Amino acid sequence: SFCCCMLVLKVLETVVRPGDEVNGLVQFEITKEIEFRGVEVELIGHERAALVSRSNIPEAQSHGLPAIKQEVKFLHMRRTLTPKEHPLDNSEFVLLPPGAYSMSFNFVLPSYLLPTLKCKPDASISYKITADRKRIRSPGLLENVGRKIHDTKPQSHHLTVKGNLPSNIIADAQVEHSFGTAKSFRASRSSKELCIRGTVPKRLFTPGEQISFQVDIENRSKKSVSVMKVSIVRALKVLSEDAFRLIASGGTRTVFEKEIRFVESIAPGQVVKDYKVELQLPADLPVTAIGKLVARNFQMELELIVSGISGN
């Protein structure tokens, strides 16, 4: 005869934020009395990266490996559940009579968590809740080989975490930041350059927020500048766990673009001071992620366009 122990895992909230409480239920039903050692529920956060290109990875070339796979477990929370009416009370097991059982659990998430992320090449930041019964057996199993335990596989649910940034990065990004560059029209250096400099009040913004800053433009060329293009670019990167060096890129994508036409073109030799730039960030931007293996960040690019020749 068989004793069935069918696990059912229910997670009440699957989209959460740092500091939230994750609640759920584990339900099962048994048809015979068993020695019950509890159900183990775990919440695990993983970073994974599998690099399939070997062109710039000496470690893979020297060992003839098709890829370098790395994994970091940055979050591990665990609960052992037993029915309230049948506690273990420091015992190894409790005799559980036939019937249906339901056990609740909760995890309070840390105040800082990486956001859920999936990018290419095969790299991800993921969260999963699993429920698995500890080893159980029917009393007298050794004496009566005909009595067996029939169990299901561990049950699992994925969580989507709307993550945040660590406090030290937030503090550093709240201060004023200056930028500037000068580019010539030719590969060789010359005095015929476009120069742009400016200051942003901070580098930390939220989706939907307005960015306002001022730039100085100096036109040392012999052509007029009529257009400035402002872009927000998202970059996905895969990092090496040991040296934190870039070994692959998941690509870049422009998530916002605005073209500004000057009312009066900036003439050759002219300098424009404190030109005001304003733009509204998209409301659906994902959160910046800075992990050990995977990073997703954003940068702003300013481009001055002169007669079809552009310089960033």
Domain match, 186 and 298 both: yes
Domain match, 197 and 84 both: no
Domain match, 8 and 157 both: yes
Domain match, 155 and 186 both: no
Rank 14-23, 53-62, 133-142 by mean pLDDT and report only the highest.
Answer: 14-23
Domain match, 10 and 139 both: yes
pLDDT of 149 > 50? The answer is no
What SS3 state is found at 218? strand
**CA-CA distance, 265 to 275, in Å (whole number)?**
13
Q: What is the pLDDT of residues 202-243, one digit of tens each?
A: 999 999 999 999 999 999 888 889 999 999 998 887 776 554
Last residue of a domain, one of 115, 141, 161: 161
Domain match, 150 and 174 both: no
At 312, the amino acid letter reads: N
Tally the domains of the chain. 2
Say which CATH number the domain at 227 has. Answer: 2.60.40.640
Residue 179 or 86, more confident: 179
Domain match, 207 and 269 both: yes
What's phi and psi for 171, nearest 5 deg? -65, -40
Question: What does DSSP say about strands 309-311 and 294-306: parallel, antiparallel, or unpaired?
Answer: antiparallel
Domain match, 184 and 306 both: yes
**CA-CA distance, 49 to 60, in Å (whole number)?**
14
Last residue of a domain, one of 122, 142, 161: 161
At 176, the amino acid letter reads: E
Q: What is the pLDDT of residues 53-91, one digit of tens each?
A: 544 445 444 444 445 678 889 999 999 888 888 887 777
Q: Which two tokens stand for residue 221?
A: 């060329």
Angle at 311 between CA 307 and CA 312, to 5 degrees: 140
**CA-CA distance, 292 to 81, in Å (whole number)?**
33
pLDDT of 249 > 90? The answer is no
Domain match, 179 and 307 both: yes
Query: Which of these, 269, 271, 275, 272, lies nearest to 223 by C-alpha position?
Result: 269
Residue 70 or 148, more confident: 70
Query: Which of these, 203, 159, 179, lies nearest to 312 by C-alpha position?
Result: 179
Domain match, 200 and 296 both: yes
pLDDT of 250 > 80? The answer is no
Q: SS3 for 107-167, per residue?
A: EECCCCCCCCEEECCCEEEEEEEEEEECCCECCCCCCCCCCEEEECCCEEEEEEECCCCCH
Domain match, 208 and 301 both: yes
Can you give the residue range of the structural domain that contains 288? 167-311
Last residue of a domain, one of 144, 161, 178: 161
pTM for this model (two decimals): 0.75
What pLDDT score was predicted for residue 32?
Answer: 84
Domain match, 286 and 220 both: yes
Q: 264 Cβ partners below 8 Å, 6+ apart?
A: none
**CA-CA distance, 310 to 312, in Å (whole number)?**
7
